[in-house]
């Protein structure tokens, strides 16, 4: 049960960072830097979420 809860937590964090990445793209060059960093963190959280949902 605890691994599933971690999977849900990391999925929510991944979605939040994806929203930040998309929102940052409209703010010039610095926004793109933030967007790339946020997308990289979202991918990382996504891999942790997959780990949490596997048995």
Report the alpha-carbon distance of residue 15 to residue 28 in Å, rounded.
Answer: 22
How would you write the pLDDT of the chain (55 residues) with one tens digit per residue? Answer: 788 999 999 999 999 999 999 999 999 999 999 999 999 999 999 999 999 988 7
**CB-based contact 52:4 (threshold 8 Å):** yes
| Token pair in block for residue 13 | 């964090």
pTM of the model: 0.88
Residue 18 C-alpha from the chain's centroid: 5
Report the alpha-carbon distance of residue 22 to residue 38 in Å, rounded.
Answer: 9
| Domain spans, the chain | 2-53
Q: What pLDDT, on a 0 to 100 scale, did the predictor assign at position 3?
A: 86
């Amino acid at each position: 049960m605890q691994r599933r809860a971690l999977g849900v937590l990391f999925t929510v964090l991944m979605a939040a960072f994806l929203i930040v990445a998309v929102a940052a793209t409209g703010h010039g060059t610095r926004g793109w830097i933030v967007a790339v960093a946020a997308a990289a963190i979202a991918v990382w959280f996504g891999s942790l979420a997959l780990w949490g949902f596997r048995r």
